Amino acid sequence: MSLKASFEKKIFEFKRPSGTSRGVLTEKKAWFITVWNKHNPDVKGVGECSIIPGLSPDYENDEQYELKVSSVIKDVDYFSMNPDELKDFPSIFFGLEMALLDLKNGGEGVFYDTAFTKGEQAIPINGLIWMGDEEFMQSQIKQKLAEGFSCIKMKIGAIDFENELEILAGIRKQVSAKEITLRVDANGAFSPEHAPEKLRRLSEFDLHSIEQPIKQGQIEEMHSLCEKNILPIALDEELIGIHDYDEKKQLLDSIQPQYIILKPSLIGGFKGTKEWIELAEERNIPWWITSALESNVGLDAIAQFTSTYEITLPQGLGTGALYTNNTPSLLEVKNGELRR
């Protein structure tokens, strides 16, 4: 038994309430795992267990979650050797995986040795437009265009659909699809009956894709929408809770989506993400990686992991400036790119 560990809970405050499909968030909880070797206690690795209530499959409440984190900490040697025991706890799996990688690489916050990690290469990212009233969404769009983003992702399904169409029409009056790539994220807001018509109306604005138009778990209906290809569909929530390799294969073969979106905190860390990428690439399904409201610690680790791949699409890694009390960071966003 050579590994020791501890954990600490932190609460991050949003700069302004952030609208999501799970309601409006004002704060974000995370549990940080620190791991060290008892023979060399000065070198420590840190990982972030990041949850989103209502979305993270391993989180019911703080007490339940903290009990699980605590049990992992007490037996960190065992879980570091048997990480698959945590497959039903993807965010804790990820936090431990991150901490062990950091420790292995000297405890300096370097998870992968890449050109991005060295500050020599940037990752293109999409600018995220949060849900809110029309005026707030319009002001965010202006800001993202001014900041030089070439890809914008807008969350839809919170305000009246006609208003959302007007906002998209307004963007397209300013910039063409050649100038700005537009993605939308419905977070499962549409019913299967109304989805085809809504996708048809959205397709008039030269959109790149729509994330999760209907709720997860409706496999036949989602396959039908993907097959119609009214608008390219990216699976997001659909991947959550599927840990078995053969089940992942079955899902991709059953739905045959145009894209998949990968959130390590929700799908079993880097290990789970690698499996999805491998299966997607075998099927010629493009993918991109997205952070899930992690602090700068988790965001940096996800960005470094992302940079181990050849990046062909803008990634969803633009959440570093959300909190008033975020952790210190080497990351910065400039002209629609994430740099370290």
Q: Domain of 326: which CATH number?
A: 3.20.20.120
pLDDT at 19: 65
CATH code: domain of residue 100: 3.30.390.10
Domain residues for the domain of 158 are 123-339
Query: pTM surpassing 0.85?
Result: yes
For residue 72, give the H/E element and its range: helix 62-74
Specify whether 309 is located in the same domain as 164.
Answer: yes
Instruction: Please check whether residue 117 lies inside any domain of the structure.
Output: no
How many angstroms separate the Cα of 318 from the Cα of each of 56, 74, 123, 153, 289? 20, 34, 10, 11, 11
pLDDT at 22: 64
Our answer to whether residue 38 is catalytic in this structure is no
- Please count the other Cβ atoms lying within 10 Å of the Cβ belonging to residue 66: 15
* Dihedral angle sign, alpha carbons of residues 277, 298, 187, 322: negative
Our answer to whether residue 155 is catalytic in this structure is yes
pLDDT at 31: 98
Mean per-residue pLDDT over the chain, rounded: 93
Task: Name the domain count of the chain.
Answer: 2
Give the start-end residues of each E strand in the chain: 3-20, 23-37, 40-50, 123-124, 127-129, 151-155, 181-185, 209-211, 233-235, 259-262, 287-289, 332-334, 337-339
What are the tens digits of pLDDT across the range 268-319?
999 999 999 999 999 999 999 999 999 999 999 999 999 999 998 999 997 7
The low-confidence residues of the chain, meaning pLDDT below 50, are: none
Of the candidates 68, 144, 153, 155, the residue annotated as catalytic is: 155
pLDDT at 135: 82
Instruction: Please check whether residue 204 lies inside any domain of the structure.
Output: yes
Of the candidates 28, 198, 215, 263, the residue annotated as catalytic is: 263
